[in-house]
Chain A
């Protein structure tokens, strides 16, 4: 239960490298689409820019709007701590707390864009969560625990089996939905027909926008690391970096080769993930 120095430094490295990972995905995507794309470090430059900008705040908003980015980042950081040291369920629910505040903030300015983004975010979350827990159950049931260390140990103990492979596919589908990528959400647009995450944060500017973008990038990194630890459990820390990059490339490839699907197709997409998880359980 105690946090030692390595775990603390893991968390710090994760926070520091989250914007880089986002840059990596963007660069890979641009290459795949024959574009030049932004610089690898653009995420850091963006955050610095927002930190130095002034903010425009709607007078309709309340302290919830002001506090939400801080709570969102704090909850995501706390979830990262859980990822390296503690409990899977606590991690999922910490991320849910962050989401709760972000959705509240999306309603606070009183515009239809925010409400639409928030409503869609909660709708997708309600479908993602069961699929995510089913995928995790393929490891949690043999481990008889939701403790991260035991989950990883269970993953390591088996060689690549059919069950683990199926669970990995199921988890990857969840990962795409959770990180807000095509085909579920489009991270790059502000069009009201496609956006979910971007719709929620439309009213933000300045410091708070920087915090939200950092938290979203951290959440994305967290899910990718979780995927690597649970389903590609070999190798040491240096290998982890390589695996994370590979998953990032896979995400870029997925984004380039698929279309954004309609919102009401998302339930079917996630149902597929759940069914694969059940197959994984049957294959154990």
Chain B
């Protein structure tokens, strides 16, 4: 049985790898030839042939799926060894189904096929979240995810079927909001925003995300966060660009507001979190918020008729989506490697891993720098584009209000940027630097070769996208459906869309960094060779130990206090008096945060539901006679009603 599972592990992931590479290749073919692919299915719906068709927008997202899927599959060969005796066959099978469903979501051009693929994706990922159901909290997380994703799907179904009923077709090329009245169009837009927002983890519909991501096996959470959340972005772009072009101003305003809330609160919660996977999950809430925010900025432009600026904003959103799929997948793979090596995801229990896992440390450092949008890494370029787009809002909205909104949004973006940097300094610094804080971290070893290779591929992609950001930007612009605006092929879009803009060039940035590095190396040489003597870390003359190190909880303490109005931290210090009078006291510290939407929306809702159920319980006495009585009363009532 053991031998079989080894073969199963190897082959199922190699097939997934091959499939992912094929997906990425077919996306590249679409871009290289400028032509879509078409595959018809041998059945029809409403006398229409069911079609899988790959256009530029779909291919852009399919490319993400391919690259992310390939790296994750490679990584999974090593990672899934720890699942050898824990239903590996189920894990690998569902993994392949999940990957396939992602491919189908991006290539279906038919409402019914899209929804079928969407459901397969939701259910397979839900079962994958539930995979380790023996662990505490995993089933609840899977159940919450199931409930939220199904509620979201219900809204998406309403949106698509309203469109299909009006336009008389289910094919994406014929689906159009032009046949709807103003009110119906608003209804479809809101349904889409709720449905796709729930899938993307937009606040306040995000509550499943910080629970489901930590519960799933790490390579699954990488794929869920890196690629699956982008299906929401894809759906929203399809909906608002292709099916419902040129909506009223408030669509954009609503999306900007919702995106901004997710962006700011998401990163604040991430910063205050010390479970690494949950930290990354909240950071995904932030990033999806940022993408939706930018799509909203584009909608604001388009509702004012400024299509060039709208195109610019959507390009920025797509750029950030692609970059996020690269570095967030990488970050989850890194945390997965840490988890496998130390059996812990709690930053406060880690430390010192940079010496034990040197490769993983470098890859994780690359991912967190990109996540913090630091130049020269790829995360920065998307952020730069978003800044430029927001800067154009002032004159387009017009007047003093436009100016103030634009300035405040810029300040908000900047604040989120620094919080992201603080959050990822904490994530990397506390878990990889200084001394190990637990036995698990002390005994950690570097992970298997395939796991390192999977991370290495993505790290290379991040660096590549950082050195040549123009490839990402050009292809993102080309992904937007033709007819909205045509990308001219070179970098001249920016001079068209931004009145005073200029093209973006990473070479100068990298050259100046390199020059600075040469200068500092030269300067250090000036003083001659330096003798380095080892000496303990300075702690006022006493021998330093791991108790003195800063922890993640300590690192974010100041922010916790400054934002206490939002997070209402509830702190508890427990002092356990030990036999020693003067030293050796045990002090434990616990902190609970108040999650705004959970306490303001979900908990009251839950209470109401339970109350309603309590009232309903009154009629359920358990006695058969009473139930027969109910049936009798109802029958009489129905008879009277029909005889009326």
A interface residues (Cβ-Cβ under 8 A, vs B): 1, 3, 15, 48, 50-60, 62-64, 69-71, 73-78, 81-82, 85-87, 89-90, 92-94, 96-97, 99-100, 103-104, 107-116, 118-120, 122-123, 125-134, 137-138, 140-141, 143-147, 150, 202-203, 206-208, 210-211, 214, 263-264, 267, 274, 277-278, 281-282, 284
Contact B415 A129 (CB under 8 A): yes
Please choose the segment from B44-52, B388-396, B440-448, B582-590 that sits at the chain A interface, where 4 or more of its residues have CB less than 8 A away.
B388-396
Contact of B544 among A111, A130, A150, A274 (CB under 8 A): A111
Bound Cα distance from A245 to B525, whole angstroms: 31
Bound Cα distance from A125 to B425, whole angstroms: 13
Contact B523 A211 (CB under 8 A): yes
What B residues does A119 contact at CB under 8 A?
Answer: 550, 554-558
What B residues does A82 contact at CB under 8 A?
Answer: 512
Contact of B535 among A50, A58, A114 (CB under 8 A): A58
B376 shortest CB reach to chain A, Å: 8
Please choose the segment from B82-90, B153-161, B174-182, B416-424 that sits at the chain A interface, where 4 or more of its residues have CB less than 8 A away.
B416-424
Contact B391 A141 (CB under 8 A): yes
What are 8 A-B interface contacts by the 8 Å CB criterion? A50-B527, A62-B433, A70-B521, A89-B384, A93-B384, A107-B550, A119-B558, A122-B422
Please choose the segment from B188-196, B280-288, B502-510, B570-578 that sits at the chain A interface, where 4 or more of its residues have CB less than 8 A away.
B502-510
Chain B positions 397-427 with a Cβ under 8 Å from a chain A Cβ: 400, 403-404, 406-408, 410-415, 417-419, 421-422, 425-426
The 7 A-B pairs of least Cβ separation, nearest first, read A115-B550, A51-B527, A77-B516, A74-B516, A110-B434, A107-B429, A145-B500
Q: B640: CB under 8 A from chain A?
A: no
B402 shortest CB reach to chain A, Å: 9
Bound Cα distance from A53 to B548, whole angstroms: 29
Please choose the segment from B113-121, B131-139, B292-300, B366-374 that sits at the chain A interface, where 4 or more of its residues have CB less than 8 A away.
B366-374
Q: B173: CB under 8 A from chain A?
A: no
B residues contacting the other copy or chain, number (CB 8 A)? 89
Bound Cα distance from A62 to B356, whole angstroms: 11
Contact B407 A203 (CB under 8 A): no
B interface residues (Cβ-Cβ under 8 A, vs A): 351-352, 354-355, 369, 372-375, 380, 383-384, 387-388, 391-392, 394-395, 400, 403-404, 406-408, 410-415, 417-419, 421-422, 425-426, 428-430, 433-435, 498-503, 505, 508-509, 512-517, 519-521, 523-524, 526-528, 530-539, 544, 546, 548-550, 554-559, 561-562
B424 shortest CB reach to chain A, Å: 8
Contact of B500 among A70, A147, A214, A274 (CB under 8 A): A147
Contact B407 A141 (CB under 8 A): yes
Interface-centre pick from B394, B433, B434, B546 (highest chain A CB count, 10 A):
B433
Contact A122 B418 (CB under 8 A): yes
* Residue in B closest to A208 when the chains form the complex, CB atoms: B524
Bound Cα distance from A59 to B373, whole angstroms: 31
* Residue in B closest to A92 when the chains form the complex, CB atoms: B414
What B residues does A208 contact at CB under 8 A?
Answer: 524
Contact of B537 among A76, A120, A203 (CB under 8 A): A203
Contact B433 A107 (CB under 8 A): yes
Bound Cα distance from A192 to B529, whole angstroms: 33
Known: A104-B425, A108-B433, A137-B407. Contact between A93 and B375, CB under 8 A? Answer: yes
Bound Cα distance from A60 to B372, whole angstroms: 26
What B residues does A51 contact at CB under 8 A?
Answer: 523-524, 526-528
What B residues does A126 contact at CB under 8 A?
Answer: 415, 418-419, 422, 559
What B residues does A281 contact at CB under 8 A?
Answer: 400, 403-404, 407
Known: A100-B421, A141-B403, A281-B403. Contact between A73 and B520, CB under 8 A? Answer: yes
A70 shortest CB reach to chain B, Å: 5
Contact A108 B509 (CB under 8 A): no
Bound Cα distance from A63 to B519, whole angstroms: 19
A53 shortest CB reach to chain B, Å: 8
Contact B500 A110 (CB under 8 A): no
What B residues does A150 contact at CB under 8 A?
Answer: 500
Known: A146-B388, A203-B538, A282-B400. Contact between A60 and B557, CB under 8 A? Answer: no
Contact B414 A132 (CB under 8 A): yes
Bound Cα distance from A130 to B369, whole angstroms: 20
What B residues does A115 contact at CB under 8 A?
Answer: 549-550, 554-555
* Residue in A closest to B377 when the chains form the complex, CB atoms: A97
Bound Cα distance from A21 to B392, whole angstroms: 37
Contact A137 B372 (CB under 8 A): no
B638 shortest CB reach to chain A, Å: 65
Bound Cα distance from A92 to B519, whole angstroms: 21
* Residue in A closest to B505 when the chains form the complex, CB atoms: A1
What B residues does A77 contact at CB under 8 A?
Answer: 512, 515-516, 519-520
Bound Cα distance from A50 to B375, whole angstroms: 30
Given A70-B520, A107-B434, A132-B414, 18 further pairs, Cβ under 8 A:
A51-B528, A53-B530, A54-B533, A55-B532, A56-B533, A58-B535, A73-B523, A87-B384, A94-B375, A107-B433, A110-B537, A126-B559, A133-B414, A134-B411, A146-B387, A146-B388, A214-B523, A264-B562
* Residue in A closest to B353 when the chains form the complex, CB atoms: A62
What B residues does A107 contact at CB under 8 A?
Answer: 425, 429-430, 433-434, 550
* Residue in A closest to B558 when the chains form the complex, CB atoms: A123
Bound Cα distance from A48 to B14, whole angstroms: 58
